Amino acid sequence: MSSPAFLSPSASTIKRRRKNFIFQSICTFAALLAVSILFILVGKVVMDGMGRVSPKFITSMPSQMFPGKAGILSPLLGSIFVMLLTVLFVVPVGVAAAIYLEEFTAQKTRLVRFIQVNISNLAGVPSIVFGMLGLTVFVVIMGLGKSVLTGALTMSILVLPMVILVTQEALKAVPKHYREASLALGTTQWQTIRRAVLPSALPGILTGIILAASRAIGETAPLIVVGAVGLVTFLPDSLDDRYTVLPLQILDWIGQPRAEFRTAAAAAILVLMALLIILNSAAIIIRARAQKKV
Amino acid sequence: MALADLNQSLTKRAAFTQVNSQNRARTISQTIVRAICFCCAMFSIIATASIFFILFSESLPFFQKVSVVEFFTGREWTMMGAQQKFGVLPLLVGTLLITIGSGIVSIPLGLFVGIYLSEYAPSKVRKVLKPILELLAGVPSVVFGYFALSLVTPALRGGTSWIGEILPTLNPLLPEFRPANAAAGAIVVGFMTLPLVCSLCEDALTAVPKSLREAAYGLGCTKAEVIAKIVIPSALSGIIASFILALSRAVGETMAVTIAAGATPQLTFNPGNEVMTMTAQIVNVSKGDVSRGDMRYQSIFAIGLTLFLITFALNILAQRFVRKMGRTGS
């Protein structure tokens, strides 16, 4: 029961079909590989550090002498402190800049286009260069010292382009008729923005803020340049205290020769990743809720 | 009657002026808010201008002592002892090794994942895959450093000794991997920039109009042929832009390479050797307490300036390609 000759595929067709199959397999395999990188990475850290994570690990001070007793209290609080201050500084400026670029500029003048190009360029500047900006402006010129405040201000400039870009996207997504309906009631532009545009753009803006916060937790390089230190065994209680952050503590422990410190580093990485996952899932939940509403 | 008229007109007028003053208050607040928002938008320009100004002015004292030619052609970087030498070539080559190596990992892999996401993946798979890639993009750089030390380098060592056992003739060709080495740094930086390549490639491919694909299918092309001969060529500028951006990110990457690639500035092309990148050198100097008059302090601004100019040029180049896509695409 062979099919008629004109229906059976020619040799070249078979070859092309095989190529097609191989190409699809390569693409699928690449995707699997990319996903497995994350799982291997997380798996390795969990295997190395899970046994070391305990309430005591989180509530005791770090140490370079006793790897078994060392904890992450001061770096964890330092990280949270820097993150909160960064959000506090960057949100008003970033959101206001985005509002100007999206709402107050009806026609895209040359200046607006220049600002826009400039923001995307700023987003591509290596993070360590922001550290050098912070070192010169905040430490040397303004004399703020190597403090939490300096770290947070530097971090704010680093995440500013990201906050502006995400907020702009959120504002762009607000339907035009919201604005028109509000303006038709005789409001000023600012009233329209405040009462009609911002509330419906809020989930998008919040997502951007959370992404900025997680970036602020993970970044290390600029903080080293502006003088965060590797080992701090006291809690920062004012804005001009010396401080350390979680990634920096991890860096310090990785550099120690004894293997127990490697384990402590893995455990600290787990805490850091847990913090990031909490932030990211909050962002995902906010996004999902907003989509449901629409 | 006349009185009532007058009365009515007066109330009308009062109401009118009241609205007017309310209006004025609204207009004033509108103007103020607009001005504040404008200042915030200008802040980004001030930040960029300050970066330019600071990098140039702070590296000026350095270049008065070390000539630009000496800086860019010197083959040695040593800050210990009396004989300080500031030749940026070893750092530049270190950065180059890491960047190229990361591109070898992220560019092909990212392109294929991008193709999978835009052309093959069912929407359910895409919905799972994209957050996973986003999560990978959010993993802090320090963690990748740990990953390089504790997994990638041992894997590289195991791999080479395994190949050496099977094919002993290759043995002299295989690099010997030191605890910190350029290859491990390059591989993890490749992993870090992978999500960027994936998502930008996907965007570029998805933007190719459906009609082009359908025309090719109509001519009897297989899916692979449509992708390779129609979709990729039309999305090419976007794809190239994603590659350039990934390389630019790799140039500026700091913590992972500081941990994984080492802290020995040496002019080498051997992936098994320790190298020091420009960024790692800046971190190295910053960790020690150096004062502003110190040569070492000034040297990091010279390195920072070099780093900034390289990434700036790459980013501008990438934007060119993106704009080109906007013109030819759709």
3 state SS of B220 = coil
Please give, rounded to a whole number of angstroms, the shortest distance from the CA of A97 to a CA of chain B: 4
Output the average pLDDT for chain A: 87
- Is A40 a domain residue? yes
Q: Please, which pLDDT band fits residue A30 given cuts at 50, 70 and 90? A: very high
**What's the pLDDT score for residue B9?**
60
Query: Of A137, A269, A284, which is closest to B131 when you measure between CB atoms?
Result: A284
Nearest Cα to A74, choosing from A251, A245, A280?
A245
Assess whether A70 and A193 both reside in one domain: yes
Q: B132-148 pLDDT, tens per residue? A: 898 898 899 999 999 99
**What's the pLDDT score for residue B330?**
42
Q: Please, which pLDDT band fits residue B78 given cuts at 50, 70 and 90? A: confident
What range defines the domain where residue A15 resides?
11-52
Assess whether A274 and A160 both reside in one domain: yes
CB A202 within 8 A of CB A175: no
Length of chain A: 294
Note whether A224 contacts B286, CB cutoff 8 Å.
yes
Can you tell me the distance from the alpha carbon of A154 to that of A132, in angstroms, rounded to the nearest whole number? Answer: 9
Residue of B nearest to A91 (CA): B40
Assess whether A253 and A202 both reside in one domain: yes
Residues 6 or more apart whose CB falls under 8 angstroms from that of A16 comprise B222, B225
Assess whether A217 and A74 both reside in one domain: yes
**B151: chain A residues, CB-CB within 8 Å:** 40-41, 44
Note whether B279 contacts A221, CB cutoff 8 Å.
yes
- Identify the residue among B22, B28, B51, B52 best suited for mutation to test binding to A, counting A beta carbons within 10 A and taking the highest: B51
Q: Which of A146-155, B183-192, B261-270 has the lowest mean pLDDT?
A: B261-270
- Is A65 a domain residue? yes
Q: Please, which pLDDT band fits residue A259 given cuts at 50, 70 and 90? A: confident
- Number of domains comprising chain A: 2
Cα–Cα–Cα angle for A76, A81, A84, rounded to 5 degrees: 125
Note whether A221 contacts B254, CB cutoff 8 Å.
yes
Long-range contacts of B86-90 (CB under 8 A, 24+ apart): B86/B62, B86/B295, B86/B299, B86/B302, B88/B278, B88/B302, B88/B303, B88/B306, B89/B267, B90/B265, B90/B266, B90/B267, B90/B275, B90/B276
**What's the pLDDT score for residue B274?**
87
Q: Which of A36, A52, A68 is the last residue of a domain?
A: A52
User: What does the pLDDT average to over B100-109?
Assistant: 96
Query: Of B45, B146, B195, which is closest to A254 when you measure between CB atoms?
Result: B146
Assess whether A143 and A260 both reside in one domain: yes
Assess whether A131 and A31 both reside in one domain: no
Query: Of A35, A115, A129, which is closest to B44 when you measure between CB atoms?
Result: A115
Read off the DSSP letter of residue A142: S
Can you tell me the distance from the alpha carbon of B220 to that of A84, in angstroms, rounded to the nearest whole number? Answer: 58
ipTM of the complex: 0.89
Note whether B283 contacts A221, CB cutoff 8 Å.
yes
Assess whether A109 and A197 both reside in one domain: yes
- Is A2 a domain residue? no
Assess whether A154 and A116 both reside in one domain: yes
Q: Look up the pTM and report it.
A: 0.89
- Is A273 a domain residue? yes
Note whether B194 contacts A37, CB cutoff 8 Å.
yes
Note whether A218 contacts B223, CB cutoff 8 Å.
no
Query: Of A93, A225, A262, which is closest to B43 when you measure between CB atoms?
Result: A93
Note whether B142 contacts A250, CB cutoff 8 Å.
yes
Residue of A nearest to B221 (CA): A16
**B41: chain A residues, CB-CB within 8 Å:** 96-97, 100-101, 115
- Is A93 a domain residue? yes
- Is A3 a domain residue? no
Assess whether A66 and A38 both reside in one domain: no
Please give, rounded to a whole number of angstroms, the shortest distance from the CA of A15 to a CA of chain B: 11
- Is A278 a domain residue? yes
CB B198 within 8 A of CB B110: yes
The neighbouring-strand residues paired with B77 are B86
- Distances in Å between the Cα of B142 and the Cα atoms of A218, A268, B257 are 8, 11, 9
**A122: chain B residues, CB-CB within 8 Å:** 44, 47-48
Model confidence at B1: pLDDT above 70: no
Type of residue at A214: S
Model confidence at B329: pLDDT above 50: no
User: What does the pLDDT average to over B231-239?
Assistant: 93
Backbone angles phi, psi at B86, to 5 degrees: -120, 70
A105: domain CATH number? 1.10.3720.10
- Is A4 a domain residue? no
**B150: chain A residues, CB-CB within 8 Å:** 44, 48, 262, 266
Query: Of B108, B149, B311, which is closest to A254 when you measure between CB atoms?
Result: B149
Model confidence at B14: pLDDT above 60: no
Assess whether A17 and A109 both reside in one domain: no
Assess whether A42 and A182 both reside in one domain: no
Model confidence at B10: pLDDT above 60: no
**What's the pLDDT score for residue A2?**
56
**What's the pLDDT score for residue B294?**
81
Can you tell me the distance from the alpha carbon of A228 to that of A243, in angstroms, rounded to the nearest whole number? Answer: 6
Of all residues in chain B, the percent with pLDDT exceeding 90 is: 52
Q: A75-131 pLDDT, tens per residue? A: 898 899 999 999 999 999 999 999 999 988 877 788 888 999 899 899 999 999 999
Chain A and chain B share a number of CB contacts under 8 A equal to 251
Assess whether A46 and A180 both reside in one domain: no
